[in-house]
A and B are shown apart, each in its own frame.
Chain A
Amino acid sequence: MGAKKNGLLTKEIVATSFVSAFKKFNPIYMLKNPVMFVVEIGFFLVVLLSIFPSLFHAGEEDLRLYNGIVAVVLFLTILFANFAESIAQGRGRAQVATLKKTKSSTSARVIIDDHEVMKQASELRHGDIVIVRAGETIPNDGEVIDGIATVDESAITGESAPVVKERGGDFSSVTGGTIVTSDELTIKITSLPGESFLDKMISLIEGANRKKTPNEIALSTLLVSLTIIFLLVVMTLYPMLQYLNIDISVATLIALTVCLIPTTIGGLLSAIGIAGMDRVTQFNVIAMNGKAVEACGDVDTLILDKTGTITHGNRMATAFLPVTGVSQEELTKAAYLSSLTDDTPEGKSIITLAKEQKLAVQDVEQIIQSSEHIPFTAQTRMSGLDTADGVRYRKGAYDTIKKESKAVPGDLEKLIHVVSNEGGTPLVVMKNEVILGVIYLKDVVKSGLKERFKQLREMGIKTIMCTGDNPLTAASIAKEAGVDGFIAESKPEDKIQVIRDEQNLGKVVAMTGDGTNDAPALAQADVGMAMNSGTNSAKEAANMIDLDSDPTKIIEVVEIGKQLLMTRGALTTFSIANDIAKYFAIIPAILLVGIPEMNRLNIMHLESSTSAILSALVFNAIIIPLLIPVAMKGVQYKAMSSSKLLIKNSIIYGVGGAIVPFIGIKMIDMIIAPLLKMIGI
């Protein structure tokens, strides 16, 4: 099963979940879940009835065993529901267990009156100044106020490359639990013990501080009212049956109630919510609350930065364009040699492209050794190398090369124009004083993004690209990436304006950002995802933080949000649809005593009244654990139009939900009917 891959059922989680499932029988805890609370009350009543069978109704002494069986099934129903919630919590807990370990053992050097005092991390207060040296763990969230050092953030990001942290700017915030790998940092603590980013994350994932999200509250309301309706149905059924002189035992009435009220969704609702957060966490994204994940499902507009999100951010060589009279090979070779000692991403991409074009140059090592390296400087604005035999290879911006060259070839301007028009950057290559041609540098769109944006469009989500580039370049990239709109030459203020404009059209807007100047926009957006590498102010303004600092992940989070809502809807529909079959099992069974003709409605041909009622009740109980995987993994989601999605899910969970219990109840009946005969019920 695919679920195992996600660590759905490790032995440890099952064991602890089992224990906590029992603890959750506490009625006070149960009150949080009204549907299951009703089941629990029913359970207590039936337990009483199996001890004192004639408590409510004289002459029911022979029902002791039957009442006992009903009590056991009700007990299992509640246990399964509790178990579902515990498993969801257990998985979250397992995810952060390692983090907790790192945290608990940390001690810190606190500067008090210019002296270093050792303190436990848990004793740190907001505003304390601590010094952390190479090899030590940063005790709590804070702001770098002095020093520059590399920090290993793999504990929270999973990214092994250390990150440079320094005072001021976008790299000044540090997270508790990460390790300084070089030099030392002076840090001002910005969070209270137990309230650090990590603590919040832990409690969120564990579901301990989980607040019901707005949609969950609305759905609970619906479930509670369905419960009330069915309580009413059963409570009024009793006098009507009495009027028609049909006897019915209290245990059967309770069984009927429990079968009808939406226990399936009621039992799994909180597990679905916790698991949704958990799935977000598996993507290494921390959602500050469930509401944010829910809002993701509604996103209409996605605002993405071009650099780093849509494109790789560094320009790559994609073509060598020689001027008339120069061969392709000659230009390629010159470009290659001029970049041999160039370590910039652009330089490397030129080497790669040249190799791709099957350029063969002998003795590369020797050339590098013997040549003089001319690095790029702000003054010269070009780079290259002078070989031992005196040949000078240069590449650089057109303006600078033009000054160095003897003559400008006639079609050079045209080539440069072509490149600029397509949104690229031209680099001119020169050998000695002769211009050979142009390297076409281009911002490359990440692979697979175009398809993603197409999917988003099918889901009804519009993508807008923000970039500092000129409109021409922006348009070209936008077209290549397949985004629906772009804002060229954008400043941070523009972003917030775009968000406002979209919101005024009634749209739900999501965006990603990392810099301090992104903070207002992150706060304004309905879903703001900050990069963990970003500043504290950005993180505080956002309602999600991506630990891997990969902005494209917002797309996955949107899908998780949708999945979360869909899972709720699907299981609600399933739960309601199940009732049809349960009625067909129980109603004829109850009425058979007084109205023999009712047997014609026993379309499942269930063995006896007792086995019919118990089969329905058992089905009602075991469907909960059977659906735990669905609750954990979420309903499968593929981008498609809302109508298709509705049809698909209605058929699976609506029609399926109507049919499955007919089969399930019949099968259970076939198994338990002989057993019941054996014990004489």
Chain B
Amino acid sequence: MWQITIVLLIYLPLVLIAGRYLYKVTMKEKMWGDGFFNRVESIIYKLSAIKQEEMTGKQYIFSLLFSNAVMIAIGYFILRIQSSLFLNPNDIGNMETTLSFNTIISFMTNTNLQHYSGESGLSYLSQMLVIIFMMFTSAASGYAVCMAFCRRLIAKTDVLGNFYVDFVRVITRILLPLSFVVSLFLVSQGVPQTFKENITLTTIEHKQQDIAFGPIAAMESIKHLGTNGGGFNGANSSTPFENPTVLSNIVEILSMMLLPGACVVALGLMITYRKNRNHKALIGKQGTSIFIAMSVIFLIGIAVVYASESAGNPEIHAIGIDDSTGNMEGKETRFGIAQSSLFTAATTAFTTGTVNNMHDTLTPLGGLVPLFNMMLNVVFGGKGVGLMNMMMYVLLTIFIACLMIGRTPQFLGKKIEAKEMKLIALCILIHPTIILGFSALAVTTAGGVAGITNPGAHGLSQVLYEFASSSANNGSGFEGLADNSTFWNVTTGLAMFFGRYTSIVLQIAIASLLAKKLVHNESIGTLNTTNATFTVFLVAIVLVVGALTFLPSIALGPITEFLQLNS
């Protein structure tokens, strides 16, 4: 438990610093290194003919969709012809169509769901030019949209910010420098960074084994910083080459938690500073209440995973095997229960999707937590969109809470009316529709059922997990699912696509509507959205709405497993 506590304690100051930095990048305030960055960026702007003019919400979204579409097209093309391109020392063949579709959607949407194994499915060129490239660009797209969203919440106009400028600044000022530092640290821990071909050697059992490596460190850092999660190798961060030591494990956990948390801090600062920039604030009252609400749900999650994994598997206990170390099936001995539990909770709450243990082998309740984290998709969440999802719940909570005190609902002085409510409701609807709809489809069609490798409840958990992971753009796998088939490639591809883009479009639309609204007065008679009462109310709404939506399916999956295992 102390291991978890220490990591979280280190996290707090880091996220506050990162949040302030993100705030400055977002609001284009003066910051350290401006001279250098401005010069680099102006070259980029010139080269790519970026005009830097302010955009409306609509233009912003269009730019996002357009640029992502172009990247999807190029990426898809490379995957399909990778065998004939350079930097392919291991002679990897071209990727099949539906798998390419799935992979390219997966990385552009920052999901990083992998229906292939990196070591056998991708050339080094594809790893770098498609995978690592998209890890930067998809994360930058997400943060850019989040910036646009947050700015509109506090603005009085819908014409502000330029997608391309935000996109470039996120990469140059945040993702690249941080990745560079983290990569070097990982290399120091033993993560390889090389263009050499795989090593084939003879083991002591006189069998041939391929040792797969490549430019891993470069991917490993952005994979976590950008809450991407796709592994260089199939086994992701559980392999020693991706995550060799406890230190690298901690750095990877902190990397993936850093920026999603920083988004909340940045929004908090934007709200606090909107009236008075000289205010002294670490995160601001509004930021605090949202941050605490997310943290509470996150901590409950960790506690459940840790307790459940520590308790172990009663059936293993029953056959007389010593399980005093807890449920170690599918876990790395160098990490143990604590480091694995924290990684599991973080990777699903912050929707990274990288894994350092196999979630398929978690105990039923231990597996319920990552599943539920992704179903909620608001506990920090990845690449900025997590915050936007949470804001949908904040607006919903405000709507109900305001009525409870006899006011028509308003947030930051802006009224939430029928039009906004419609979009908010749609936004909250999308996620369960995708998860439940596709899951129902999977268990009723031959193509879907063929992929399920476990009978009964656990099989259903696999299905739910796969679609929850896709729709939440998480990308972690329950694994165990035989998912490289046309059915699974196409359905999860669609789930990832709609899970990402419909929400983003609706959320920016809501922000645009709010941006154009008259700002109303705030007094003691209006709802206080910054105190403990509101935070409790928010957590309750998130949990109740989430639970009501997913309880039946969870009851059939993990809860049935739990009851059967402990009967």
Contact = CB atoms under 8 A, between A and B. Distances in A.
Interface of A: 214-215, 217-219, 221-222, 224-225, 228-230, 232-244, 260, 294-295, 297-298, 300, 458-462, 505-508, 561-566, 568-570, 572-573, 576-577, 579-580, 583, 587, 591, 595, 597-598, 600-601, 637, 641-643, 645-647, 649-650, 653-654
A566 to B, nearest CB: 4
Given A225-B425, A597-B564, A643-B528, A239 B404 contact: no
Interface of B: 396, 399-409, 413, 416-418, 420-422, 425-426, 428-429, 432-433, 436-437, 439-441, 443-444, 449, 456-457, 459-460, 518-521, 523-528, 531, 533-534, 537, 540, 544-545, 547-549, 551-553, 555-556, 559-560, 563-564, 567
A461 B406 contact: no
21 contacts: A218-B416, A218-B418, A219-B403, A221-B422, A222-B399, A230-B548, A232-B436, A233-B552, A236-B439, A240-B443, A240-B460, A242-B443, A298-B407, A460-B524, A506-B413, A569-B400, A569-B403, A570-B404, A642-B525, A642-B528, A646-B533
Contacts of A221: 418, 421-422, 425
B555 A297 contact: no
A598 B563 contact: yes
A297 B440 contact: no
Contact of B556 (A241, A298, A601): A241
B442 to A, nearest CB: 9
B551 A587 contact: yes
B456 A244 contact: yes
Contacts of A237: 552-553, 556
B566 to A, nearest CB: 8
A579 B548 contact: yes
Nearest to B457: A244
Contact of B429 (A228, A240, A600): A228
Most buried by B among A229, A243, A244, A462: A243
What DSSP secondary structure best describes chain B's contact surface?
A: helix
B89 to A, nearest CB: 45
Contacts, number: 207
A242 to B, nearest CB: 7
B400 A572 contact: yes
Nearest to A504: B518
Nearest to A584: B551
Listed from nearest, the 3 A-B pairs whose CB atoms lie closest are: A460-B525, A569-B403, A562-B406
B408 A298 contact: yes
Most buried by A among B407, B524, B537: B407
A218 B523 contact: no
Contacts of A506: 413, 518-521
Contacts of B534: 646
Most buried by B among A242, A462, A642: A642
A218 B525 contact: no
Contacts of B436: 232-233, 236
Contact of A595 (B416, B459, B564): B564
A504 to B, nearest CB: 10
A597 B563 contact: yes
A243 B460 contact: yes
Given A214-B417, A458-B524, A572-B400, A650 B408 contact: no
B426 A225 contact: yes
A650 B534 CA distance: 11
Given A222-B399, A300-B525, A214 B460 contact: no
B555 to A, nearest CB: 5
B521 A300 contact: yes
B555 A591 contact: yes
A297 B407 contact: yes
Nearest to B452: A243
Contacts of A595: 457, 560, 563-564
B408 A233 contact: no
B428 A507 contact: no
Nearest to B425: A225
B449 to A, nearest CB: 8
A558 to B, nearest CB: 9
Contact of A650 (B396, B425, B537): B537
A440 B422 CA distance: 62
A241 B444 CA distance: 10
A113 to B, nearest CB: 53
A224 B418 CA distance: 12
A221 B418 CA distance: 7
Given A222-B421, A576-B544, A646-B537, A239 B413 contact: no
Contacts of A649: 404-405
Nearest to B426: A225
Contacts of B404: 566, 569-570, 573, 645-646, 649-650, 653
A240 B400 contact: no
A353 B443 CA distance: 90
A505 B524 CA distance: 15
Contacts of A563: 406
Contact of A240 (B519, B520, B556): B556
A575 to B, nearest CB: 11
B521 A505 contact: yes
Contacts of B527: 642, 646
B519 A600 contact: no
A239 B444 contact: yes
